[in-house]
Amino acid sequence: MKEFQIMGYVEDTLGSGETIEYDVSFHWLWTFSAYTIFVILVAAALGLFLLFSPMTSVEAIEPMIRLLPSLVLAVIGLVIFLYMMIKKWTTERVLTDLRFVQKTGWIIRHTEEIRIDRMEEVNLDQSLLGRILDYGDIQIAGVGTGEIKLKMIDSPIEFQKKLNDLKVKFAPSPP
């Protein structure tokens, strides 16, 4: 069973008697991608710096101008890395026995909720690599509501199964 990592918003908005059924997390590939992009851009920055460092003539190129392209590349790598990691750290996606809740944002909070009894469709997009590594994107559409998109989630089939089990609870009983 998954260990739940309840964060502030979801914990604060749980109704009385409402329980968490599933904590939807980012796949490990999200973090790996952030680190990989950072390392590649910093390595490229270092390579660029070393490429221009043999030029010692102060008249040809000022030392800071030689360093500038390397710094720009390294800063771009750092910004992309921080963006991806802050997005991961500040996103809460939880399935309770009554609803699905997604909270994103650090300074500005954005929340999306759909009650399970109002869910119309749950669609899965999973590439070949996603099937092998067990990650995918889920789109949840609700009656009278918009669509919630979950990018690069871990174990999407397990999440979909848990959601379908909960939807059965709300299905009308036959006459």
**pLDDT per residue as tens digits for the range 45-95:** 888 877 766 655 555 556 666 677 788 888 999 999 999 999 999 999 999
Rounded CA Rg of the chain = 23
**pLDDT per residue as tens digits for the range 3-50:** 444 457 888 888 888 888 899 999 999 999 999 999 999 888 888 877
DSSP state of 3: P
Q: Say what the pLDDT of residue 18 is.
A: 86
DSSP string for 134-174: TEEEEEEEETTS-EEEEEEEE-HHHHHHHHHHHHHHHSPPP
DSSP string for 59-87: TTS-HHHHHHHHHHHHHHHHHHHHHHHHH
Asked if 84 and 30 touch (Cβ cutoff 8 Å), the reply is yes
Any bridge partners for residue 135, and if so which? 154
Q: What is the pTM of this model?
A: 0.77
Does an H or E element contain 122, and which? strand 119-125
DSSP state of 24: -
Q: Say what the pLDDT of residue 175 is.
A: 65
Q: Where are the domains of the chain?
A: 21-27+93-169, 31-86
Burial class (CB in 10 A: 0-12, 13-18, 19+), 24: buried
Pairwise CA distance, residues 157 & 139, whole Å: 13
